[in-house]
């Protein structure tokens, strides 16, 4: 509906101006653009949420891997000393 409305508006611009309804068509086009962009906004919000969660999981895995590696290295040093 967005591109169809825009195309029809362009083809009938002289009639729209003659009747003085430019503001009405401008508002209608603005509403259609907002409706068309709504899914894009939700997709971007979902992607940011997912990126944050995956970053948090990655940081947690790195923390535990580093802690485990450090603990494992300390226990090997103790075994070598014996």
What would the pLDDT profile of 21-78 be if each residue is shown by its tens digit?
Answer: 999 999 999 999 998 888 888 999 999 999 999 999 999 999 998 888 877 776 666 6
What's the rounded Cα separation, in Å, for the pair 78 and 60?
27
Q: Is the pLDDT reported for residue 82 higher than 70? A: no
Assign residue 74 a region: left if phi > 0, alpha if psi is -120 to 50, beta otherwise? alpha
Residues of the domain holding 76 = 2-81
Number of domains in the chain: 1
pLDDT at residue 79, as a whole number: 58
Quote the CA–CA distance of 44 and 41 in Å, as a whole number: 5
Mean pLDDT of the region 8-20: 92
Residue 5 — very low, low, confident or very high, per pLDDT cuts 50/70/90?
confident
């Amino acid at each position: 509906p967005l591109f169809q409305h825009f195309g029809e508006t362009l083809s009938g611009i002289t009639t729209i101006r003659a009747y003085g309804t430019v503001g009405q068509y401008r508002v209608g086009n603005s509403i259609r653009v907002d409706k068309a962009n709504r899914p894009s906004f939700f997709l971007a919000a979902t992607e940011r949420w997912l990126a944050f969660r995956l970053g948090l999981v990655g940081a947690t895995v790195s923390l535990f891997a580093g802690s485990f590696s450090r603990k494992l290295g300390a226990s090997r040093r103790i075994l070598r000393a014996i």
